[in-house]
Amino acid sequence: MNPQTLRELLAQLAAGQVTIDAVMRRLETLPFEQLDFACLDHHRTLRCGFPEVIFGEGKTPEQVETLFAKLAATGGNVLATRVSPEAAQRVQQRSPGAVHHELARTLTLQQDATPPASGLIGIVCAGSSDLPVAEEARVTAEIMGNQTRTMYDVGVAGLHRLLARSEDLRAANVLVVVAGMEGALPSVVGGLVRVPVIAVPTSVGYGASFHGLAALLAMLNSCAAGVSVVNIDNGFGAGYQAALINRLAQEPARTDNAP
**CA gap 134, 185 in Å, rounded:** 13
| 113 touches 81 (CB < 8 A) | no
How high is the pLDDT of residue 259? 45
pTM (predicted TM-score): 0.84
Domains of the chain, with CATH numbers? Answer: 6-109 (no CATH), 120-250 (3.40.50.1970)
Neighbour order of strands in the sheet with 147-151: 147-151, 120-125, 174-179, 197-201, 227-229
DSSP state of 149: E
Q: Could you tell me the CA-to-CA distances from 24 to 34, 223, 259 in Å, in that order?
A: 17, 55, 21
Q: What is the pLDDT tens value at each position of the chain, 259 positions in all?
A: 556 666 777 788 788 888 877 766 666 556 767 778 887 787 787 778 788 899 999 999 999 999 999 999 888 899 999 999 999 999 999 999 999 999 999 999 999 888 888 899 999 999 999 999 999 999 999 999 999 999 999 999 999 999 999 999 999 999 999 999 999 999 999 999 999 999 999 999 999 999 999 999 999 999 999 999 999 999 999 999 999 999 888 776 555 554 4
